[in-house]
Structure 1
Amino acid sequence: MGRGSIWIGSIVVDCTDLPRMIAFWQEALHYVPRDPPEPDGVVLKDPEGRGPNLSLNKTSEGPLDDYRLHLDLYSSDPEREVERLLRLGATLVRPAKKGHDFVTLADPDGNPFDVIDKKGWASGRHA
């Protein structure tokens, strides 16, 4: 059976430093701009068409204290990816707790996201 009539087309992130956020998320996800960036935002897309778009919208306000939406990034090599994301400008918000399979980071604008340990998923082991 094919996909239904509704799916996630884009995840929207408000940000105060648009150029920095574009650079961070392009490197983090290897996404490319769908169209040339505008002064008030850009839509980044997966060049292979596998994932949803990531829309970055410029705002004058910082991130909220009570986050209602965040990204879960799955990784078959989470330790390496966390180190890479930290080098790109992410910050550690919450290390992995005992019994949990994720670490929480924040992008350069303070928006949280989790890197989730999915070792084995790429090879079909579904750990």
Structure 2
Amino acid sequence: MLTIGSLVLGVSDMPRAVAFWTAALDYVPRADADDEWTVLLPADGPGVQLALGLSESPVQEHPRVHLDLYAGDAADQAAEVERLVALGAERVDWDLYPEDPDFVVLACPEGNRFCVIDTSRG
């Protein structure tokens, strides 16, 4: 049986990406991190790893794969969005929002899109 070990994001500036994602997720770099490949682990124990790989590929405006980060409710979502923006994320003018979205689209400092989801809406 297979399990997902890591989600991988391409980045062009490894130190910038490591700084953002470690602060955003409370993750720490695995001991074997270097300038081309860094695996981030949850600081408080087991969980999904986030791997950052040096890449020259351009960021996709509508990526086929992205991260969904879960917030407990609308207030938590709003607070997390503001925290992530303060860390360097940018709000994305997303042209595919439904009429009453339960998610906010952001881009990390590398331009990779991700969503912050209000999970209280079911």
Superposition TM-score, scaled by structure 1 size: 0.83
Partner-residue secondary structure (3-state), 1:21: helix
1:107 aligns with 108
2:89 aligns with 90
Separation (CA, whole Å) in 1 of partners of 2:23 and 2:33: 16
Q: CA deviation at 1:40?
A: 0.5
Name the structure where helix makes up a greater proportion of residues: 2
The unaligned stretches of length 5 or more in structure 2 are none
For 1:56, give the aligned amino acid.
Answer: L
The unaligned stretches of length 5 or more in structure 1 are 120-125
Q: How many residues align?
A: 117
Superposition TM-score, scaled by structure 2 size: 0.86
Moved over 3 A (4+): 94-98
Please report the RMSD computed on the Cα atoms of aligned residues, expressed in angstroms: 1.9
For 2:109, give the aligned amino acid.
Answer: P
Q: CA deviation at 1:65?
A: 3.6
1:26 and 2:22 correspond: yes
Q: CA deviation at 1:13?
A: 0.1
Residue among 50, 61, 64 paired with 2:60: 64
